[in-house]
Structure 1
Amino acid sequence: MSTIRRTKIADILSAGQASADTLVKGWVRTKRGNKNVTFIALNDGSTIKNLQLVADPNDISEDLLKKVATGACLSAQGELVESQGSGQSVELLVKSLEILGEADPEKYPLQPKKHSLEYLREIAHLRPRTNTFSAVFRIRHAMTYAIHKFFNDKGFYNIHTPIITGSDAEGAGEMFRVTTLDMDNLPKNEEGAIDYKQDFFDKETNLTVSGQLEAELFALSLSQVYTFGPTFRAENSNTTRHLAEFWMIEPEVAFADLNDNMDLAEEMLQYVVKYALDNCADDLDFLHAREVEENKNKKEIDRPSMYLLDRLKFVVENQFERLTYTEAIDILRNSKPNKKKKFQYLIEGWGADLQSEHERYLVEKHFNKPVILTDYPKDIKAFYMRQNDDGNTVAAMDILFPGIGEIVGGSQREERLDKLTQRMEEMDVPAEEMGWFLDTRKFGTTPHSGYGLGFERLILFITGMTNIRDVIPFPRTPGNAEF
């Protein structure tokens, strides 16, 4: 083959110009033709669109063309010309062809037909070659960049918090243990319990559930920081919303109250959604059309209230509605679905933990805009949230989106040492293990706030996918740690 450089298909299609000598490489999506001409749809992952290769048997041997099958990897060189067919501006008249990697058409798992998402999860190592998953993971990359750009441009510092930790930030207790002890011969102490003094870290350690507490330490020095890293929950859940390994974005800001926190979160969400609309148009158009097609035969009651692109624009174009948890409870208690017992979880009074159906009702039916709920009952929230003067609520906030419910959860943090230690005692959080955290309240404490955004939850919303296992490259769930 020639020594000319490969050109990405995305660059070829965006330029849309003829060129005398072009080299492309990629994987075959489809092949069709007759004895006079062969058409090959080639994709290299740089765009959801394929480049059509046109191979003349007078230029490319019939034996070589017979080996070209769906899934094979090709290197093709030739002339870019204006396309004779619809759907693309240019096509490549192939002058030389090399098969870099063959694919047995009898065994290749991704034939050019519709495959279920369940089947594709079983071959997660190959599913990025499909249109759906290549679109999802290009968008995931774009959102990773957009998150970092947003915080960088606002003067935040990215902090890498520990993956191995001795603390349970949420008090959830559902953590993965990290140990080097011999499971077949565990050392015991005098009380007969496992002797973690003989373990690698001289104590019991786990995979982190959150980087928030460590990020707070840096916010109380660098003023505004954020984490973006993997977190882990050993929750035995097989729902479409849960993963055992997922990524979290957690900003922490000194000198910020709950209103500042809401402003930051709303600005960030609108920024990244707009970034997707501006920079991922081809992939979003494909996923929007896919969602419409998936729902066309469903009853109207089972269809989304709005489709993907409309939901994204809905977030960008609407100022978020802000109201207290107490106001939301009153709205929900008096709503038609509650009175007619249409909610699966009926709202009977103050103190109820809101479910996705309640959150979506507020967003999609009552306000018709994204919603931020504030001032939740302290009994359903974490120990580190600032207690309000009423003694019953905390300065917490959740952001609710259409189709998905809660997407962000955060709060003003409790900066008062006496209030924090009292709450920790009430919730059985061991103060002796949290001395490093309490020190920030002893030495130069200040009001500060932060929130958590589950990255996969964000990608679910932006791609319109309905199962969280389909927006992370290799999902980790109960009984599943393949690849």
Structure 2
Amino acid sequence: MESEQAMPATVSTQLTTFKYSNRVLLKTILERRDGGLELAGERVVVGGWVKSSKEVRKEPVPLIVGDHGPDEPEPRSDVSCVEILQSRIPFLRAIVKVLGGSVGQYPLREKLEAAVHKPPPPSTVFLKVSDGSCVATLQVVVESSLAPPSQLLHTGTCIIVEGLLQQSLVHGTNVIELRVDKIHHIGTVDYSKYSLAKKRVPLDKLRDFCHIRARTTTVATVMRIRNALDFAAQTFCQNHGFLSVQVPILTTTDCKGFGEKFQVTSLFGKAGGKEEPHHKAIAELEGVSLDVIKAAVKEKSNLVEELKRTDSNKEALDAAVQDLRKANELASQLEAREKTKPKTSKKVDNVKSSEDFFSSPTYLTSSGRMHLESYACALGNVYSFGPRFQADKEESPKHAAEMWMFEVELAFSQLEDAINCADDFLKFLCKWVLENCPEDMKFVSQRIDKTRADHLHSVISSSFERISYTEALDAIKKVTEKKIDTKIEWGAALTEADLSYLADEIYKKPVIIYNYPKEAKPFYVRLNDDGKTVAAFDIVVPKAGKLISGSQNEERITILTTRVKELGLAREQYEWYLDLRRHGTVKHSGFSLEFDLMVLFSTGLTDVRDVIPFPRSYGKANY
């Protein structure tokens, strides 16, 4: 619905409109100390989505019965004209039918039918509207004379309206409401197919609707906190003289030296030199395709069962069944193709990599630190923020195939410098969230985790415990409880359970663990004098686990070359990296923040897929 009247050029001098749409953000109204009461009487334009609604019908016009004197009170009836007519519908229809054949009686029939189909009485619609700028919603009051209530009442309806702010007559969450006198836009909702039609949809179900789940209060709150952390991280770096550098997503190097990688190719579908009509570039882990489809089939089967169990609308169930049928057909085709393939063939259709888009094997990057290092050796202090990929199939609430990393690299620095920087960096992020997201953190405390703000305060005020890997191992071995494996031998990697126990139970505060065995860290980490450990560190936080990993990198070309050889890495892929040691080498260090896990820690949620806008995990990449 579009209004013929144009939106106003200006609004209240107390409010600032959004420059590019001339509307007022709801946070500028609702997050004032008085809840916006001082703005009563101001004219504004707002836009947003309906979170909840109700319609209140007005009292019908009273029916006058008989004559009465001028000084007598007007008699009133509890029954409206419409109700009287509706009660006489069978009788009236009979009269109309009898009189229908007479030409002279058509006017009577039309009047009777018009009375029977009289429109509903006027009503007032009360809408709770959110525009995503804050947790709170604004109550918007619309008379039915401006728009049919049926167009406004459904959850998810988008509106742009104009009117006067006034003090709410009903005491509730808002002290101010908007009385609408102009409607500029109504974006209606197909409610039978709208995924958020039901209240309190579980977070795991919302993952199936990532394109609209941000309309829920919980996910919207998480995204605002995520935005604040993004801004805070870059603010810290910019304030301390770091330069932002964009590193590549595609790389020919194994940036960690271990772990599964996604190989990128444009040869999928080629066989015997014949190219399919569509030249598709894909990122595929060898041998995973069939497993991915089977996982999708299982997920879609569960969705169908859930829709049947919850008596969902028939259209949604039919669509899910059809989707499952297609997935089963694709799985059958892939199974048949796998059976006909030569068992010795593991390459993509046996096409040489020299024929690929890139002349050598190329992967999605799992870390940007190696590339970032080259710019640190020219610009001094640099940072990068972007997606990193790991093709592990593990099902973990703290792992996804695509996760975002905030990476920092410092030239002319050693391990201690990187640890100090990471310590300050983490505390800065926690403080920023508490100071700049008070309403969102209030919602987190009320609806997700009432102790979350306390955990953030604890990080800010704590003096992080600093222990070596060997000291950490000794502390674990002294544990008498059976919660963790205390028989772990020196040289083994510390598990997530080990790290959490150190921070949660033993030290009860953030822990920095350094000097790891060289086998547990990437090949480029600087070898210590003992020849067994490397200058690497992790920061482990209570109720969060490991958030930051860092290291001083090896600047000595002879030792780095030896490490490449020990691990059997293809040296030709690392010649550019070795060049940094040949030409003006310098001691340097840095660290990586698992950004998604930082958001998880700040919000108190338990699964990383709930804090990533469009999560990608094993078998699930629907967008």
- What TM-score does the superposition give when structure 2 sets the normalisation length? 0.71
**Alpha-carbon spacing, 1:128–1:110, altered in 2? closer, same or farther (3 Å):** same
Q: Is residue 13 of structure 1 aligned with residue 13 of structure 2?
A: no
**Alpha-carbon spacing, 1:341–1:20, altered in 2? closer, same or farther (3 Å):** closer
Post-superposition shift, 1:90?
Answer: 1.2
Report Cα offsets for 1:314-362 as digits up to 9, x if no partner. 1111121111111111111102xxx23222x334432232122222222
Looking at structure 2, the residues matched to 454 and 99 of structure 1 have their Cα atoms a distance apart, in angstroms, of 41
Looking at structure 1, the residues matched to 136 and 420 of structure 2 have their Cα atoms a distance apart, in angstroms, of 38
Looking at structure 1, the residues matched to 153 and 162 of structure 2 have their Cα atoms a distance apart, in angstroms, of 15
Residue of structure 2 equivalent to 1:167: 253
Aligned length: 462
Q: Is residue 180 of structure 1 aligned with residue 266 of structure 2?
A: yes
Residue of structure 2 equivalent to 1:341: 482
Report Cα offsets for 1:219-250 as digits up to 9, x if no partner. 11111111111111121222212111121111
**Alpha-carbon spacing, 1:258–1:51, altered in 2? closer, same or farther (3 Å):** same
8 Å contact from structure 1 (residues 30, 112) kept in 2: no
Post-superposition shift, 1:456?
Answer: 0.8
Q: Is residue 239 of structure 1 aligned with residue 396 of structure 2?
A: yes
SS in 2 for 1:473: coil
Residue of structure 2 equivalent to 1:317: 461
Looking at structure 2, the residues matched to 224 and 20 of structure 1 have their Cα atoms a distance apart, in angstroms, of 49
1:84-163 equivalences in 2 (<5 Å):
84=169, 85-111=171-197, 113-163=199-249
Residue of structure 2 equivalent to 1:198: 355
Report Cα offsets for 1:430-480 as digits up to 9, x if no partner. 222211101111111121101111211111111111111111111111111
Q: Compare 47-56 and 160-169 and name the one that shifted more.
A: 47-56
Q: Which amino acid aligns with 1:341?
A: K
**Alpha-carbon spacing, 1:200–1:107, altered in 2? closer, same or farther (3 Å):** closer
Unaligned 5+ residue runs, structure 1? 294-306
Looking at structure 2, the residues matched to 275 and 151 of structure 1 have their Cα atoms a distance apart, in angstroms, of 14
SS in 2 for 1:19: coil
Q: Is residue 354 of structure 1 aligned with residue 490 of structure 2?
A: no
Looking at structure 2, the residues matched to 237 and 332 of structure 1 have their Cα atoms a distance apart, in angstroms, of 25
Q: Which has the larger radius of gyration?
A: 2
8 Å contact from structure 1 (residues 414, 420) kept in 2: yes
The correspondence for 2:511, drawn from 360, 363, 371, is 371
1:206-355 equivalences in 2 (<5 Å):
206-292=363-449, 307-335=451-479, 339-343=480-484, 345-355=485-495
Looking at structure 2, the residues matched to 374 and 196 of structure 1 have their Cα atoms a distance apart, in angstroms, of 40
Q: Which amino acid aligns with 1:157?
A: L
Q: Which amino acid aligns with 2:459?
A: V
Q: Compare 274-283 and 425-434 and name the one that shifted more.
A: 425-434
Residue of structure 2 equivalent to 1:427: 567
Q: CA RMSD in A?
A: 2.0
Post-superposition shift, 1:33?
Answer: 3.7
**Alpha-carbon spacing, 1:65–1:393, altered in 2? closer, same or farther (3 Å):** same
Post-superposition shift, 1:19?
Answer: 3.3
Q: Compare 466-475 and 30-39 and name the one that shifted more.
A: 30-39
**Alpha-carbon spacing, 1:213–1:104, altered in 2? closer, same or farther (3 Å):** same
8 Å contact from structure 2 (residues 525, 536) kept in 1: yes
Percent sequence identity is 38
8 Å contact from structure 1 (residues 162, 208) kept in 2: yes
SS in 1 for 2:385: strand
Q: Which amino acid aligns with 1:287?
A: V
Residue of structure 2 equivalent to 1:32: 54
Q: Which amino acid aligns with 1:326?
A: T
Looking at structure 1, the residues matched to 233 and 166 of structure 2 have their Cα atoms a distance apart, in angstroms, of 39
The correspondence for 1:393, drawn from 507, 530, 533, is 533
8 Å contact from structure 1 (residues 459, 471) kept in 2: yes
8 Å contact from structure 1 (residues 395, 412) kept in 2: yes
Q: Which amino acid aligns with 2:29?
A: I
Residue of structure 2 equivalent to 1:407: 547
**Alpha-carbon spacing, 1:113–1:193, altered in 2? closer, same or farther (3 Å):** closer
8 Å contact from structure 2 (residues 271, 350) kept in 1: no
Residue of structure 2 equivalent to 1:83: 168
Residue of structure 1 equivalent to 2:582: 442
Unaligned 5+ residue runs, structure 2? 9-21, 59-123, 275-346
